[in-house]
Amino acid sequence: MSIFLRIWFAFAIVLLAGSFFTLNALQNQIKPSVRQVVEETLADNSNIIASLIAPDVANKNIQTPEFHQKIIHILDRKLGAKIWSQQKNSVNQQLYITDAQGIVLYDSQGLAIGQDYSRWNDVYLTLHGRYGVRSTRSNPNDSSTSTMYVAAPIMWNGQLIGVLSLVKSGVSVQPYIDLAQREMTIRALWVVALSLIVSGIVAWWLRHGIEQVRRYALRLTPQNSLGEVGDQLTPPEIKKPLHFWAARELNELTQAIDHMHEALAGKTYVENYVHTLTHELKSPLTAIAASAELLQDDLPPPDRLRFAQNIHEQTLRLQNLIERLLLLARLEKQQDHHGQTIEKKTINVASHITQLLHERSAELKTRQLYIDVNIPPEMTIHAEPFWFNQALGNIFDNAFDFTPQGGCITISCSNLVNEANDNKKENSIMIQIENEGAAIPDYALPQIFDRYFSLPRPDSGRKSTGIGLTLVREVMALHHGNVQVANVEGGVRVSLAFSMS
């Protein structure tokens, strides 16, 4: 079961259970509330009528036909009233009158005249100066057959001369109870339905936020189950349209995952560097140790000079390796920090390349290399000067190493216009360095940017640190550009594309 259904089912169960118990409690409260209102009305009416008929009771006129006709005329009146949605056409009350001993003197139904009602609560309590009321069921097992009796004392000249009881059948108020319960049930069902929809939206939103965090965690691996590359990912920001607390906690979870990934990546990064650095240091250290051991023997001066020169060369190799590793570590650390940007400046391409070539003039002179520079004087790009120089310097060093003595290196720069995906044009600056010499073997082209991968130099057969082109690739990624290496007729071409956007 998906997390969406689990969350929604949890909401639904709690909502339905709460709604059921609440509705049941309210439904059970409707009937006593209605009966309380009816009793309160009967108490008012009984006291009013008791005051009106007191002279008739005192003068013994209540048993006359005129009195009976007057009461029947009142009880049989046609009302034609619409109370809320219920139609009321007649008076639904009865009454009886007793004397001071509880003997029925008058009954509007003509059934109880002469009977002793002194033991019924409504009459008994009233005769003893208390509030008289009772409720009697015609069917003990059916609460709807309950009839309410509310009595009031009949006073004359300060003396209690009788009791008036008004009678209200429960059947007459049951339609109002049923209507209230039905309306409450319908409205409760609407509230439950709307609440289920809202809870479904909340569950979907929570599931969407959790899914974003899950996919981000999966994408943090170099090659993950989503088939996506996990480098330089931006943590998702969970929006908070419904529950700001959930969005905050999901964002905190994302940040915790991101920090954990950075910590683990840093640990793996250090482990990889230790392993690869140990491997790369083994060869020059072995050569240095062997040469040092041989120098302890009594050797001819030419041999001693050769072994000393070997130690010097291997020491320089170690120094170069360490310097480039430090540069690469610094660059990769700068890229790993999300949102960190480099400070780009406007760089004149021609002047920077001239400066880089001037720094390498001794090597150019020794190898008798010819440099053909075709760069417009006004050509500029936006780049970080230090890393721009590092990238071009590494490419120049490779070009010098693989160009035969007396060969030519061509450096050019042009402005390119490409069509983007949204039919907009994108401008970029393309710097190309092309050197004469042997082509790169087909097996080596896919690995040319791999760390520590290097081809033997044509003149000496020795390999470099294998970090130069890796550093170039990282510099171009930092500038949102790209680098390509390709074989061309008579040599190799390296192309650097710097975006102008």
How many CA atoms within 13 Å lie on the side-chain side of 335? 20
How many CA atoms within 13 Å lie on the side-chain side of 340? 10
Q: Where in the chain do CATH 3.30.565.10 domains reside?
A: 341-501
Q: Read off φ and ψ for residue 161, nearest 5 degrees.
A: -115, -5
Task: Please check whether residue 294 is in contact with residue 310, taking contact to mean a CB–CB distance below 8 angstroms.
Answer: no
**In this predicted structure, what is the pLDDT of residue 230?**
43
**Options 3.20.20.140, 3.30.2290.10, 3.30.450.20, 3.40.50.1980; which CATH number does 3-183 get?**
3.30.450.20
**In this predicted structure, what is the pLDDT of residue 408?**
94
- What CATH number does the domain located at 231-340 have? 1.10.287.130
Q: Where in the chain do CATH 3.30.450.20 domains reside?
A: 3-183
Question: In this structure, what token pair is assigned to residue 3?
Answer: 């997390």
* C-alpha distance from residue 415 to each of 370, 372, 390, 393, 409 (Å): 25, 19, 22, 21, 20
Q: Taking Cα atoms as reference points, which of 340, 435, 431 lies closest to residue 380? A: 431
Question: In this structure, what token pair is assigned to residue 6?
Answer: 């689990």
The per-residue pLDDT for range 297-330, each reduced to its tens digit, is: 888 888 888 888 878 877 876 776 676 666 666 6
| Residue 108 CB contacts under 8 Å (≥ 6 apart), including other chains | 71, 72, 75, 94, 95, 96
CATH T-level topology, domain 341-501? Heat Shock Protein 90 (3.30.565)
**In this predicted structure, what is the pLDDT of residue 218?**
73
**In this predicted structure, what is the pLDDT of residue 278?**
63
The pTM of this model reads 0.44
Residue type, 191: V
The per-residue pLDDT for range 267-289, each reduced to its tens digit, is: 555 555 555 556 556 656 777 88
How many CA atoms within 13 Å lie on the side-chain side of 361? 4
223 secondary structure, DSSP code? B
Q: Where in the chain do CATH 1.10.287.130 domains reside?
A: 231-340
Q: What is the enclosing helix (H) or strand (E) of 9?
A: helix 3-58
Which positions of the chain have pLDDT values less than 50?
Answer: 223, 225-232, 241-245, 337-340
Task: Please check whether residue 318 is in contact with residue 281, taking contact to mean a CB–CB distance below 8 angstroms.
Answer: yes
**In this predicted structure, what is the pLDDT of residue 245?**
45
371 forms bridges with which residues in the sheet? 409
